[in-house]
Amino acid sequence: MKTLMLKRMTGFTIVELLVVISAIVILAAITIVLYEGGQVQARNAQTAAAVRVYKDALLLYQSINHAYPQGNNPTGGTCLGDSYPNDACWFNNVYENAAFMTALKGVQGGNLPMPALNPKNLKGALFAPIKGAGYYDNTLDGVRTDFIIYSWEGTSPCGVGPVASNAGDANVLTYSSTAPASGQTEPPSGANPAQCYLPLPAA
């Protein structure tokens, strides 16, 4: 006579389910962090590539015309790029300028790239020329200097340099050619991304 063996039904215990769910949550969190980090790196790479193009175009324009192109913004800054939301690239007080961009395209020989926008405050990049007593009255080692200023995400060094160090505070706008220890002119603060001040040769 055959003995019937009753098969015992088994399943996951609550503890086992919690372990599996916890592992899934941890893996999802790691994936999100890696994805966001990759997005930041991609935006920074886009900005660095654009800033290099604008630096070359500005230097070429200056070598031909013995001056940098001038925008029409009363604060002294002009956006580098022409596809910013509401035409503003820096706290809604620095704007695009069609004549400025046309001048750069004329020497560069084609379309100019857009820097990436910081998703928190839509900062991009701008040209800040020497001004007598304006919003951008920047000095480098005591000499009034033109700058390219661009936004940078995270705490990695600015992608295009050498960038200036802040020798005063945000209201004084005095800078030093000594390399900043962090590699950033202005480290990130709150919702504000890092800022990079790239000096240009005097016109």
DSSP character at residue 151:
E
* pLDDT exceeds 50 at position 6: no
Residue 129's pLDDT band, with cuts at 50, 70 and 90, is: confident
Name which residue leads in pLDDT, 203 or 171. 203
Query: Strands 165-166 and 125-128: what pairing?
Result: unpaired
Cα–Cα separations (whole angstroms), residue 128 to 20, 69, 138: 55, 11, 8
Give DSSP secondary structure letters for 162-196.
PPPEESS-TTT-EEESSPPTTS-SB--BTTBPEEE
* pLDDT exceeds 90 at position 72: no
* pLDDT exceeds 80 at position 157: yes
Residue 61's pLDDT band, with cuts at 50, 70 and 90, is: very high
Residue extents of the structural domains in the chain: 19-199
The half-sphere exposure of 129 on its side-chain side, counting CA atoms within 13 A, is: 20
Residue 9's pLDDT band, with cuts at 50, 70 and 90, is: low
Residue carrying the six token digits 């690239």? 89
Task: Quote the pTM value.
Answer: 0.79
Distance between CA 19 and CA 180 in Å, rounded?
Answer: 46
